[in-house]
């Protein structure tokens, strides 16, 4: 059973997800995990409501997707989008991951910082000047954006200050908030592929792709039920002397739990990271079995050179440290923050291979690598 599951998952790469049968359906996709947005079919089209469009938002955002804009009461919505769109600009690498999975690369004409893109398909479009660099957040080149004139700009904000995005709407470019990062589970975030599919007219494809991902993920969950031990795990990294430890409700904590591990900081009741002193982490985590998510480091020597106190941990002495930097390009783009958002099944597979190699014997990690 386990070998069969392992073979199935290994063989089901991003390109093969589209092998699932696609059935025509003019209704919006049904959501099973995502809680921060919803679809509603109306006579005018499809209304998308985003419950918390950005961190700290007190009001939802409502967007109407329609094939006709005549006789629409524009003031009822934050934006009215004629779909399918023909072009868009984006600001986050996770958005690249969703478009890549949908094979919708032709729709992207502008991006905030193109060096951060890792997808070979999009890198080729950048090289041939089909994707324009726009700049990040408040430093976005508004003149370049206006010249590009995309049908919409997809943005995200981890703070409640979104005034710079509000200004862009004054130039006639609809701004759509992507709040997938505020979902509380990996599958919920991955289900935002249906949000992007609705914009580019690929709802059937999105349903098929997500169903395959969901099936793979749940089969992996079944495989971990047979583990004989529960290794202890720490996560996060220090910055300027402060260790930022992911909360017990974070995606990292979810992956550790689903992969059959015990997260030593699961009592932090939040989705974001908690700032901790080195001493606080040391007392609780001295004898941890694994350290997963040392995102700031690519090599063991780099980690030690940053702070020799890391050597006090058994997990460092044993070199049981894993960083999601295996699929980084030379420009700094990291596929973990791109396709990894869309493929939680592949991320979970990495966690299982690290914590329970007896379940998935082949130790060929996809996003993570051992800092040894």
Element containing residue 243 per DSSP (H, E): strand 242-246
pLDDT attached to residue 27: 67
Q: Looking at per-residue confidence, does 231 or 28 come out higher?
A: 231
pLDDT band at 226 (very low <50, low <70, confident <90, very high): confident
Q: Looking at per-residue confidence, does 49 or 163 come out higher?
A: 49
pLDDT band at 71 (very low <50, low <70, confident <90, very high): low
CA distances from 228 to 139, 232, 249, 256, 356 (A): 52, 13, 25, 15, 9
Element containing residue 219 per DSSP (H, E): helix 203-223
Given a contact cutoff of 8 angstroms between Cβ atoms, the answer to whether 132 and 349 are in contact is no
Q: How much is the mean pLDDT over the chain?
A: 89
Burial 276-306 (b: 16+ CB within 10 A, else e): beeeebeeebeebbbbbbbbebeebeebeee
**Facing residues of 62 across strands?**
49
Tokens encoding 303: 């980690």
* pLDDT at position 75 over 50: yes
Is 0.75 topped by the overall pTM? yes
State pLDDT tens for residues 257-314: 999 999 999 999 988 899 999 999 999 999 999 999 888 788 999 999 988 999 999 9
Residue 111 is given by DSSP the state E
* pLDDT at position 15 over 70: no
**Which positions ≥6 away from 349 have C-beta within 8 Å?**
9, 10, 220, 360, 366
For residues 74 and 264, what is the distance between their CA atoms, to the nearest angstrom?
A: 50
Place of tokens 């040392």: 294
Give percent of the chain with pLDDT exceeding 90.
73
Helices (H), 18-76: none
Give percent of the chain with pLDDT exceeding 70.
91
* pLDDT at position 343 over 60: yes
pLDDT attached to residue 6: 38
For residues 191 and 114, what is the distance between their CA atoms, to the nearest angstrom?
A: 24
Given a contact cutoff of 8 angstroms between Cβ atoms, the answer to whether 262 and 206 are in contact is no
| 3-state SS class at 9 | helix
pLDDT band at 70 (very low <50, low <70, confident <90, very high): low
Give yes or no for a cis peptide into 341 (omega within 30° of 0): no
**Which positions ≥6 away from 225 have C-beta within 8 Å?**
none
Phi, psi dihedrals of residue 31, rounded to the nearest 5°? -100, 135
Residue 29 is given by DSSP the state P
pLDDT band at 69 (very low <50, low <70, confident <90, very high): low
């Amino acid at each position: 059973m386990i070998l069969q599951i392992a073979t199935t998952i290994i063989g089901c790469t991003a390109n093969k997800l589209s092998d699932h049968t696609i059935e025509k359906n003019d209704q919006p996709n049904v959501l099973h995990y995502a809680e921060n947005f919803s679809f509603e079919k109306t006579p005018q089209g499809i209304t998308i409501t985003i419950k918390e469009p950005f961190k700290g938002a007190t009001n939802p955002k409502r967007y109407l997707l329609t094939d006709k804009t005549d006789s629409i009461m524009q003031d009822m919505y934050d934006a009215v989008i004629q779909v399918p769109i023909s072009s868009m600009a984006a600001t986050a690498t996770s958005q690249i991951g969703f478009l890549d999975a949908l094979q919708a690369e032709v729709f992207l004409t502008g991006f905030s910082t193109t060096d951060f893109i890792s997808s070979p398909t999009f890198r080729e479009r950048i090289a041939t000047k089909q994707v324009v660099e726009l700049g990040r957040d408040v430093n976005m080149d508004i003149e370049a954006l206006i010249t590009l004139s995309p049908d919409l700009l997809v943005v995200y904000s981890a703070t409640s200050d979104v005034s710079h995005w509000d200004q862009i709407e004054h130039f006639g470019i609809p701004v759509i908030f992507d709040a997938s990062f505020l979902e509380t589970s990996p599958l919920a975030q991955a289900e935002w592929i249906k949000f992007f599919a609705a914009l580019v007219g690929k709802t059937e494809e999105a349903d098929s792709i997500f169903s395959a991902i969901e099936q793979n993920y749940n089969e992996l969950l079944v495989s971990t039920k047979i583990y004989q031990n529960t290794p202890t795990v720490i996560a996060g990294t220090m910055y300027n002397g402060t260790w930022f430890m992911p909360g017990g409700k974070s995606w990292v904590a979810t992956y550790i739990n689903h992969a059959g591990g015990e997260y030593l900081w699961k009592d932090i009741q939040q989705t974001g990271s908690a700032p901790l002193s080195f001493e606080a982490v040391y007392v609780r985590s001295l004898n941890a079995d694994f350290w997963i998510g040392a995102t700031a480091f690519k090599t063991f020597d780099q980690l030690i050179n940053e702070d020799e106190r890391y050597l006090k941990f058994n997990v460092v002495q044993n070199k049981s440290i894993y960083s999601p930097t295996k699929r980084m390009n030379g420009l700094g783009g990291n596929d973990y923050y791109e396709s990894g958002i869309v493929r939680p099944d592949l991320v979970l597979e990495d966690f299982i291979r690290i914590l329970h190699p007896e379940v998935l014997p082949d130790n060929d990690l996809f996003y993570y690598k051992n800092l040894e």
